[in-house]
Structure 1
Amino acid sequence: MKTFFKILVIVIILGIFGYTLYYLWDKSKEEPVVYKTETPFVTNIIKKTVATGSVVPRKEIDIKPVVSGIISAIYVQEGQMVKKGDLIAKIR
């Protein structure tokens, strides 16, 4: 009877040891990475920006004529770039 209990205790200890080794080995395996995929589709992309605010110029210049009179002709459009010395308008 004593040998039976000794063998039973040894079998239980070996079983616990074996289960612990299996558990640790199973936990050490890395899980496979699963990626979520989508099916491609064709569509139009509309790029749109909506903003509120005000536009302020970096530099503002007052234009004052050297002589006074009535403007008879204007040679540039609003917003057009001009250089120093360009003819802008004709005064009568």
Structure 2
Amino acid sequence: MAEIKRSEYVCSNCQQEATLCSCDGDYRRYSVREWDCDDCKRTVASHGGRDTECTNCGAQYNGSGQRLQDDWRGNPSLCNDDIGDLEGYEIQHAGD
């Protein structure tokens, strides 16, 4: 898991840190997390806890900074609820 360099909440209206925001109204606040890419060491950011990828080398991460396998989208469990993650991984790599 990546070491988080920055973690803060941001106002969805003004894009400022929530503690500095002076917006009137009930705007949504979302988290921003940043860490260094495991491969190229550039900064990677996740907005609102969403999956993201390094814009420099394409390494993929979940919203908490955990590196994902480059081929995770090929796992059949992604689109079939009857197949578990491990079973899907085994099916995906059966011919390797």
TM-score where L is the length of structure 1: 0.19
Structure number with the higher helix fraction is: 1
TM-score normalised to the size of structure 2? 0.19
